[in-house]
Amino acid sequence: MTGPVLVTGAAGFIGSTLSERLLASGADVIGVDSFTDNYAPYIKRMNISRLTANPRFRLVEVDLRTAAIDPLLDGVDGVVHLAALPGVRASWGEPFRAYAEHNVVATQRLLEAVRRHPVRRLVAASSSSIYGLPTRFPTPEDEAPRPVSPYGVTKLAGEALFHAYWASYRLPLVGLRYFTVYGPRQRPDMGIHAFFEAAKSGTPVKVYGTGDQTRDFTFVDDAVAATISALTQPAVPGLTYNVGGGHRVSLNDLLARIELVTGRPLERRLVAAPPGDPPDTSADCSRARRDLGYEPKTELTEGLRRQWEWQRRS
């Protein structure tokens, strides 16, 4: 990057980690965040406490649903769009309106502004939630999307916007479908964070269904490495890439690893699986390996150990 990088959602889990890596690589970063209250805003402030002390980082507190976006893009060389309202289970019912506004309307407004500026690359985040109930494991990008949650529907709508703006305006856009990212700063509503909190407090953990459901877990450093490659490498504009960790394990296996890492037993309480949670996810990362040189490097138990070391000090 020859100019600054604009990172939306910069105070979030992935956004703050990405911003630190970009600064370490020598890039200037403009971080945009509206500090939504989907989880405590003070946690997001903590995420960026080191960033705001860096003179090459500028924080802009605006809401992309309503803010003037063009001034944010003046002189910007690259954009990483991570801002979104996350979470499958909270997206049902009336909250869907906010999901649609944050994940679809704000994305469209950003794309509309980007087409008026000479941005060299736009990387936009999507989610494995767009697959819903895939028929192939590992799942390649050409799998027909079948989202089973309102959140997944909004992320699929975002991808449709990516394609529309690439097809009509040739925006230099690359999409990334993240698969269950974990690691230091993971959101408190996410499973691994909750399991570690239960280990700290000695309280039971909820196990949805039988615990045999599987996930492809991606360590945050690997997700960030893929994002930087998509920003800087000659990826194919208009394509979307899976970003997985190569660690498809069952929930029961995950809990056993957490017990090993923490040295503490976890009491399990079986509850009914909530609507919108797919039974299995697994990323075929062949396309990202080919075009981005992506290779996840963090073994699951080691990644869990690193999250535990961070979380038990929090």
| E strand segments, 209-266 | 214-216, 218-219, 240-243, 248-250
DSSP annotation of 90 reads: G
CA pair distance 127, 156, nearest whole angstrom: 8
Identify the bridge partners of residue 268 per DSSP, sorted by sequence position: 205
Polymer length in residues for the chain: 314
| Tokens (6 digits) for 147 | 């989202």
Q: Dihedral through CA 220, CA 152, CA 288, CA 168, nearest 10?
A: -130
CA pair distance 48, 297, nearest whole angstrom: 25
How many angstroms separate the Cα of 309 from the Cα of each of 244, 259, 312? 23, 14, 6
Closest to 281 in 3D by CA, of 86, 68, 139, 104? 139
**Cα 310 from chain centre:** 19
Please name the residues in contact with 266: beta carbons below 8 A apart, sequence gap of 6 or more: 195, 198, 199, 204, 205, 255, 258, 259
Burial 217-244 (b: 16+ CB within 10 A, else e): bbbbbbbbbbbbbbbbeebeebbbbbbb
Residue 306's CB is within 10 A of a number of other CB atoms, namely 18
Q: What are phi and psi of 206, to 5 degrees?
A: -85, 130
State the catalytic residue, choosing from 99, 131, 151, 241.
151
Q: Give alpha helix (H) positions in 13-149.
A: 13-24, 41-47, 96-100, 106-114
Q: Is 151 annotated in the active site?
A: yes
Catalytic residues: 151
